[in-house]
Amino acid sequence: MTIDELGEFRREFKPGLETIIAGIIMGVLLMAGGGALTYFAVMGGIGSGGNLPFWREKGEPGWSWGAIALAGAMGIGLMMGGFFLIRWMRSLVSLRVCVCQNGFAVIDRKSTQIVAWEEIDSVQETHLYQRPPVLKGVAKYALPKLMSKSFLVRITGREPFGFDGDTIKGHSKLAQMIKEETDRRNISWEIVEEHA
């Protein structure tokens, strides 16, 4: 099936620009922080001339080989996390979901996946309730739990298509359009409640 066979075009959905920019900024900050942590660890080892104990007692000033290894591993981990976050944001840039009369198409840089409404086996809507991570300790209970929604469309013989507010701007409207079509065809729509 081709995208032309899906019939009349209704609406296109794509990721929000603010999500992509925030992800890239966070990725750059992770990489910079990891680079700085690794740099300071290496300079601590070089500055000592290599004459360091394996580990220092708590409260004892200066570097040790264990601290250098730990800081270096954390720095490299942060840089890798930043790199993969930026790669994920770059992949989101090309993501598009085109909803048409007879189905929808998921288009990204690598492929186009055409899904007719009849090919949908079921849809799982997940409601995740969690408190914002602004406050810590007992104070966090002063804030109410907020709900976020994510959706997983299971397709006959293929990988499922999942989306939420981080990957698609206007994800609730996309879900509403899919639900209208699945209701007409008596396709299962399951709602799962999760509390974090």
Please tell me the predicted confidence (pLDDT) of residue 37: 95
Please tell me the predicted confidence (pLDDT) of residue 121: 95
Please tell me the predicted confidence (pLDDT) of residue 158: 92
Please tell me the predicted confidence (pLDDT) of residue 78: 97
Q: What's the pLDDT tens digit per position in 36-56?
A: 999 998 888 888 777 888 888
| Highest mean pLDDT pick, 50-54, 106-110, 145-149, 182-186 | 182-186
The per-residue pLDDT of the chain, averaged, comes to 90
Structurally, what CATH architecture does the domain formed by 95-195 represent? Roll (2.30)
Single out the residue of 134, 115, 97 nearest to residue 13, CA to CA. Answer: 97
Please tell me the predicted confidence (pLDDT) of residue 50: 75
Q: In the predicted model, is pLDDT for residue 97 greater than 80?
A: yes
In degrees and rounded to multiples of 5, residue 155 shows phi and psi of: -115, 140
Please tell me the predicted confidence (pLDDT) of residue 45: 83
CA distances to 18, 29, 51, 53, 55 from 68, rounded to whole Å, are: 37, 21, 13, 11, 10
Q: How far apart are CA 136 and CA 142, in angstroms?
A: 10
**Residue 21 CA neighbour count, 13 Å, CB half:** 3
